[in-house]
Structure 1
Amino acid sequence: MASKQMRAAQIIEFNKPYQLCERPVPLCGGQDLLVQIYAAGYCHSDLQVLHGQFAANLPLIPSHEPAGKIVQVGARVKGSWKVGDRVGVLNFKNACRDCVGCRQNLRRTGQTDPRFCRERKTAGFKHDGAFAEFMLADPATTVHLPEKVSFEQGAPLMCAGATVWGALHKLKPEVKPGETVAIVGIGGLGQLGIQFAKAIGYRTVAIDNRLEGRQLAMDVSEHLKPDLVIDSAAADAHDKILDFTSGEGLAGVVVCTDSVQANAWSLQQLGNGGVMVPVGLPKDRWQFDSEAMVFRELTIRGVYVASTEGVEEMLKLVAEHNISSHISTLDFNKIPSIVERYTDKSMKGRLVVRISH
């Protein structure tokens, strides 16, 4: 298949529209999976890549949210992978096993974790990603996509889902089921976060200063709707949180926006011993109230994305509870205009490109 050509979209120059092109189908190595991409998501990180925030070498095929089918299995691939398997592909791959990050994880857990390998490849960030008909996947960071989950729904779970799922698990062990957790910023990540939090067993508060975000919070299955929806710009927002939590404040909060102001505000909503997990990457530094952190013994905990095992667990929950994203789909030939669509104020949820049919 290496001599064949495939459709792709690529970044030729930062801050310029994506260009459609033809590229050779990647050669499947002995330890690779070759995946035909059926759907690929677009998120805020893709926009940051386009703006040059991650200093990638160009040209680059963007998108790090792929879902598709395996079409070739490398000769030395271990496990039960086979042609025809429905899969999602995480963006970190090919751990070197020799760097400091790999050695640390080998010592702590007995295995490598490509998320923290200093030599890892990051598809869609610094290496070719999913806006193409085919891509190479690392079996160690490829996950099984349940039959109940469509390719279009599966694609956003590879980043948006994996990120907010990992963030919710960072609230543990301090925050336990039955306690009150807020999701701040209800877009693609936040809408999934609400559903995950409810499925886990948290009392859930959805918070957004935009009407579109608050509406999106309620655009989920009845059993996964938040227990309370709050406009953070309202004068009584803080009082509503205190009233809902019997004066205690939130036990945990996951912030799904890179707004420095929103993150600072969110910290103030925590009660004693509360845990905050910010998942946005602002250009400027976060600014948190040191007095609140010290005198209430608050924790701010970093998160990357969930591990491969964590994402497999997430996908089982998604299938069990019929968790879904509000998605808008685009055909492949519309990729050059995707930024205009993504930045439109009426846009809500996730954008997903249909690659193959």
Structure 2
Amino acid sequence: MIGPGMNAVSAYAAAAPNAPLVRTTIPRRAVGERDVLLEIKYCGICHTDIHQVRGDWGESIFPMVPGHEISGIVVETGDRVRRYRAGDRVGVGCFVGSCRTCAHCLADQEQYCLQGPLSTYNAMSEGAPTYGGYSTHIVVDEHFVLRIPDGIGLAEAAPLMCAGISVFSPLNHWHAGRGKSTAVVGLGGLGHLGVKVARAMGAEVTVLSRSSGKEEDALRLGASRFLVTSDPARFAESRGSFDLIVNTVSANVDLDAYLGLLKLDGTMVNIGVPEHPNSFGMFSLIGARRSLAGSLVGGVRETQEMLDFCAARGIGAEIEVIGADEINEAYKRVVDGDVRYRFVIDAASFAR
């Protein structure tokens, strides 16, 4: 625990691009009048953490404490906080601030803030870097804190703060549901939650995957069909099959082939970020009035809606809980695809 006036907490950080994460101490600001101090219980490992630690996307700030899939317990609140009190189960996602005044923020779409949302880590705030959830505590403005309902365990809830809302938002926006044929590309940290959520919304769900190795899991999670995308015949057989395709993978794919799977007026939404630019033929769109779109997590209100939805239906992430000393090996396993389906760090181990 940290007491009044203390702001040094245990964490795991990377000192430079591709450096291993090691135990360290970081500062946390004093609790302001609208702030909430969380004791972090669990933090998920997102593939974004790995990209940022490796400097894959540029502009990385070191030393870096990753982590934006945070669940924990409220320890202290500022004098003007009304939504939370000590002991509440809460979470923090990909951003901890925004301008709160632009059109997008006023529409509860803070993730698209016109001035740019303040990322939970790897960003600058008032001249200091933000540090993420690979730590024992974090201080966050109450507006960006989410309530975790009792229907979800804190460990299973942590990945919902990024992976969960990343799939919920496009499924919600493009109205996945009863009578809608929905495909999820990839059955990883995002894709497995996409299957669960789409099925809970009432959609008929198909998983599109490069190999058949996860077919049994896909059906167990709620998919009714599984198509192996490495077989060109599967694309020919399934042309014009789907109202909505949610692409969760970060690899470049043949967009023309995938767009051909859409029905008239169908939409393919991309939430993964491939390493290289993609291209496609315009006839893949105009031939059936199809749309190619993208989606970035969700705003605070929608993220709370997602948590309430998941709790009411018993949806949580499929996880493997690890200690802090296993993070570097976990990174390697994520890159190798050797996790089913999300690593979650026990935050108590940051201080050991």
Q: TM-score, with normalisation over the residues of structure 2? A: 0.89
Q: CA deviation at 1:332?
A: 2.1
Query: What does residue 190 of structure 1 align with?
Result: 191
- Pair 1:344–1:283, CA change in 2 (3 A): closer
Alpha-carbon distance between aligned partners in 1 of 2:23 and 2:48, rounded to the nearest angstrom? 20
Query: What does residue 120 of structure 1 align with?
Result: 117
Query: What does residue 104 of structure 2 align with?
Result: 105
Q: 1:299 aligns with which of 287, 291, 296?
A: 291
The one-letter amino acid paired with 2:104 is N
Query: Is residue 37–residue 68 contact of structure 1 (8 Å, CA) maintained in 2?
Result: yes
Query: What does residue 253 of structure 1 align with?
Result: 245
Q: TM-score, with normalisation over the residues of structure 1? A: 0.88
- Pair 1:74–1:117, CA change in 2 (3 A): farther
1:196-275 → structure 2 map (5 Å cutoff): 196-220=197-221, 225-242=222-239, 248-275=240-267
Q: 1:3 aligns with which of 2, 6, 18?
A: 6
Gaps of 5+ in 1: 243-247
Alpha-carbon distance between aligned partners in 2 of 1:307 and 1:298, rounded to the nearest angstrom? 26
Query: What does residue 245 of structure 1 align with?
Result: none
What SS does the corresponding residue of 1:236 show, helix, strand or coil? Answer: helix
What are the Cα deviations for residues 307-344 of structure 1, in whole angstroms up to 9, with x where unaligned? 21212221122122212322111112322433223234
Is 1:288 the counterpart of 2:289? The answer is no
Which stretch of the first structure deviates more once superposed, 227-236 or 113-122? Answer: 113-122
Which stretch of the first structure deviates more once superposed, 29-38 or 261-270? Answer: 261-270
What are the Cα deviations for residues 244-293 of structure 1, in whole angstroms up to 9, with x where unaligned? xxxx4211100000222254432221121111100011121122221111
What are the Cα deviations for residues 11-36 of structure 1, in whole angstroms up to 9, with x where unaligned? 21011111211234442122211111
What SS does the corresponding residue of 2:162 show, helix, strand or coil? Answer: helix
Alpha-carbon distance between aligned partners in 2 of 1:141 and 1:4, rounded to the nearest angstrom? 20
Q: Which runs of 4+ in 1 moved over 6 A?
A: none
Alpha-carbon distance between aligned partners in 2 of 1:213 and 1:289, rounded to the nearest angstrom? 31
Query: What does residue 148 of structure 2 align with?
Result: 145
Query: What does residue 69 of structure 1 align with?
Result: 73
Alpha-carbon distance between aligned partners in 1 of 2:220 and 2:323, rounded to the nearest angstrom? 24
Which stretch of the first structure deviates more once superposed, 163-172 or 12-21? Answer: 163-172
Note the aligned Cα RMSD (angstroms).
Answer: 2.1
What SS does the corresponding residue of 1:10 show, helix, strand or coil? Answer: strand
Query: Is residue 152–residue 315 contact of structure 2 (8 Å, CA) maintained in 1?
Result: no
Is 1:133 the counterpart of 2:125? The answer is no
What are the Cα deviations for residues 145-172 of structure 1, in whole angstroms up to 9, with x where unaligned? 1112111101000000010111212324
Alpha-carbon distance between aligned partners in 1 of 2:177 and 2:311, rounded to the nearest angstrom? 23
The one-letter amino acid paired with 2:63 is P
Alpha-carbon distance between aligned partners in 2 of 1:210 and 1:138, rounded to the nearest angstrom? 44
Query: What does residue 160 of structure 1 align with?
Result: 163
Q: CA deviation at 1:5?
A: 3.6
Alpha-carbon distance between aligned partners in 1 of 2:115 and 2:271, rounded to the nearest angstrom? 21
Question: Once the two structures are aligned, what percentage of the paired residues are identical?
Answer: 23
- Pair 1:119–1:198, CA change in 2 (3 A): closer
